[in-house]
Structure 1
Amino acid sequence: MNKSNQNKDPIFNCDDAIYMCAKREVDNCNLGIYGVNYDGTTSFRPGARFGPSSIRQVSNGIESFCPQLNLDLEDINFTDFGNLEINFGAPEPVIKKVKTASNFIYSLGMKPLLIGGEHSITIGSIQSTIEYFPNLILIQLDAHADLREEWLGSKFNHACVMRRCLEMISSERVFQVGIRSGTKKEMHELRKTKRLVNFISGQPAKELYNALNPHKGKPIYLTVDVDWFDPSVISGTGTPEPGGFTWQDFSAIINVLQNHKIIGADIVELAPQLDPSGVSSIVGAKITRSLIMLLSISQSTIR
């Protein structure tokens, strides 16, 4: 990579497959994706470290064209930097490297899209994004509230990701969509603060539309934990939660977000080996396609 090779930190490993239609070069690209193959804080079933490779490997099995957004990946210039070089172990060094990597991508005038890996990596990405966009809006699609102060002895566990993000972003600028699992304390907090955006499967995303309407034009970061989907759609995830959502529901979310300024995103918690059918990986690749397109719609906002 021409520009990335000028910078020794972060270090990306390009030995993995490449996401369909992506480039390895950064010239004329306004979007950069990278994988973070880490699942060191997974609290139930591990395997999310295999998510980035699986998404890339199956990406050629879906069409490059999206009828909903009327966009084609072949018409979008974007870079696949490969996987971030990380050490397995404690999450803090990984989060630090994620921040460095996202800073690097923003410094090139590009928007970052992270492919995880588990949800703790979002902390590093938000640490980076908030430096560039102090008035950032954060949207979480997730089955779980992720509001624990600490879990299994770590404040940077994937069950604590939103608590850490709330230390950087004020509560009124955080929207947690369709959360259906959490402790009594977490769910009470969600309702009291009005961060919980209710969403009914099979219906338009009216409540999200209404919640975001006063924030039109503000920068938005979207984090997608794949366990937001029902296990019948994505079973390959570490902590599946019945009662989730369908692809049509995700499309309803996209319908709302395509009219907003998305400046960064991630997809996390895909554990492909837990779904021998491979369907979860295909859905993950299609989610990634939608995120690439959302980020590309307003390409000129970073430079």
Structure 2
Amino acid sequence: MLNKNIETFLGCDNDYEESRLVIFGAPFDSTTSFRPGTRFASKTMRSESFGIETYSPYQDKDLEDIAVFDGGDLELSFGNTAKALAQIEEFAAKVLEDNKLPCMIGGEHLVTLGAIRAVAEKYPDLHVIQFDAHADLRDDYLGETLSHATVIHRVWDLLGDDKIFQFGIRSGDRSEFQWGQDHVYTNKFNFNGLEQVIEQLQGKPVYLTIDLDVLDPSVFPGTGTPEAGGVTFIELLQAMLQVTELNIVGCDINELSPIYDQSGVSTAVACKVLRELLLAVN
């Protein structure tokens, strides 16, 4: 008997009811300031994920041993940024209402705002850990307040001071860093200080957002705004495993733009990061 051909991320073909983790794609890149293409990330990752194994030798865990539901890609309004964010928020809120953990695949980094709005509604004391090359703390970019360059400032609008912790940051306007000194915790270039932050956030609800351009372009060239001087895959993995010891209530990875790396290496890296993230937060 023939069945519908439904493509899911490797090992994430479980039923919604039995799954604690729900992944979904937010294929949106309408505010990208340099090179677009992140809207194709989630679709490409699903196809290419079968080039890696379900088993992680780093964690001695296997995706076949946990229940993850792949909700597919949201149909987002590309012509209306505010509406697209509302659609992401609505989907994430449904997942949270069902006591499941949302894990989003962007898309540009602005999609994080939609998910965090939903998570913050359920967890008012929410804290955010951000791995990223860029501060994303502008109040507006070319007059627009909703942009991948402003996303963390918009998150601050929701959460306030002392709730956002940035690591790996190595790019931003001078005013972003000056403003950030008074409002967020920023560790430039690497993950130094992460252990102290983890100790501080014990018992608190935490949202983890991973902009994959935190990785050095030699590891991850397939992104819209590559920045030299990034971390290695192993450094990112170790930091991610540390953070996922906390009470993670939502997470995302974003900013893969597969068209800028025809070798497919960047997509393979993104798939591996997602595999390790799912296994770690389960």
User: TM-score, length-normalised on structure 2?
Assistant: 0.94
| Cross-structure match for 2:75 | 85
Deviation at 1:295, TM superposition (A): 2.2
C-alpha distance in structure 1 between counterparts of 2:182 and 2:140, whole Å:
21
Deviation at 1:216, TM superposition (A): 0.5
Instruction: Please tell me whether the aligned partners of residues 163 and 184 of structure 2 are also in contact (alpha carbons under 8 angstroms).
Output: no
1:253 aligns with 2:236: no
> What are the equivalent positions in structure 2 for 1:118-133 lying under 5 Å apart?
118-133=108-123
What fraction of aligned residue pairs are identical, expressed as a percent?
Answer: 37
Residue 167 (structure 2) aligned to one of 177, 183, 204: 177
| Cross-structure match for 2:201 | 215
| Cross-structure match for 1:157 | 147
Deviation at 1:146, TM superposition (A): 0.4
| Cross-structure match for 1:5 | none
1:273 aligns with 2:259: yes
| Cross-structure match for 2:64 | 74
> What are the equivalent positions in structure 2 for 1:111-122 lying under 5 Å apart?
111-122=101-112
> What are the equivalent positions in structure 2 for 1:21-32 lying under 5 Å apart?
21-23=11-13, 25-32=15-22
Residue 241 (structure 1) aligned to one of 217, 227, 235: 227
Deviation at 1:199, TM superposition (A): 5.2
Instruction: Please tell me whether the aligned partners of residues 221 and 260 of structure 2 are also in contact (alpha carbons under 8 angstroms).
Output: yes
C-alpha distance in structure 1 between counterparts of 2:125 and 2:189, whole Å:
25
| Cross-structure match for 1:10 | none
C-alpha distance in structure 1 between counterparts of 2:181 and 2:140, whole Å:
21
Instruction: Please tell me whether the aligned partners of residues 19 and 67 of structure 2 are also in contact (alpha carbons under 8 angstroms).
Output: yes
- The amino acid across from 2:100 in the alignment is M
Given the superposition, is the C-alpha separation of residues 109 and 194 from structure 1 closer, same or farther in structure 2, using an over 3 Å criterion? Answer: closer
Given the superposition, is the C-alpha separation of residues 171 and 16 from structure 1 closer, same or farther in structure 2, using an over 3 Å criterion? Answer: farther
Cα RMSD (Å) = 1.6
C-alpha distance in structure 1 between counterparts of 2:10 and 2:241, whole Å:
23
Given the superposition, is the C-alpha separation of residues 145 and 15 from structure 1 closer, same or farther in structure 2, using an over 3 Å criterion? Answer: farther
User: What SS does the corresponding residue of 1:176 show, helix, strand or coil?
Assistant: strand
Instruction: Please tell me whether the aligned partners of residues 133 and 219 of structure 1 are also in contact (alpha carbons under 8 angstroms).
Output: yes
Deviation at 1:179, TM superposition (A): 0.4
C-alpha distance in structure 2 between counterparts of 1:21 and 1:235, whole Å:
26
Instruction: Please tell me whether the aligned partners of residues 16 and 83 of structure 1 are also in contact (alpha carbons under 8 angstroms).
Output: no
1:168 aligns with 2:154: no
User: What SS does the corresponding residue of 1:49 show, helix, strand or coil?
Assistant: helix
Residue 279 (structure 2) aligned to one of 284, 293, 299: 293
Given the superposition, is the C-alpha separation of residues 140 and 15 from structure 1 closer, same or farther in structure 2, using an over 3 Å criterion? Answer: farther
User: What SS does the corresponding residue of 2:158 show, helix, strand or coil?
Assistant: coil
Counting matched residue pairs gives 279
| Cross-structure match for 1:11 | none
C-alpha distance in structure 2 between counterparts of 1:24 and 1:154, whole Å:
40
Stretches of structure 1 lacking an aligned partner (at least 5 in a row): 1-13, 297-303
Deviation at 1:16, TM superposition (A): 6.4
Residue 31 (structure 2) aligned to one of 41, 44, 47: 41
Stretch moving more, 249-258 or 265-274: 249-258
1:235-294 CA-to-partner distances (Å, cap 9, x unmatched) read 110001111111111122023113211111111111001101000000011111122122
Stretches of structure 2 lacking an aligned partner (at least 5 in a row): none
- The amino acid across from 1:277 in the alignment is S
Stretch moving more, 35-44 or 66-75: 66-75
Instruction: Please tell me whether the aligned partners of residues 137 and 219 of structure 1 are also in contact (alpha carbons under 8 angstroms).
Output: yes
C-alpha distance in structure 1 between counterparts of 2:114 and 2:40, whole Å:
19
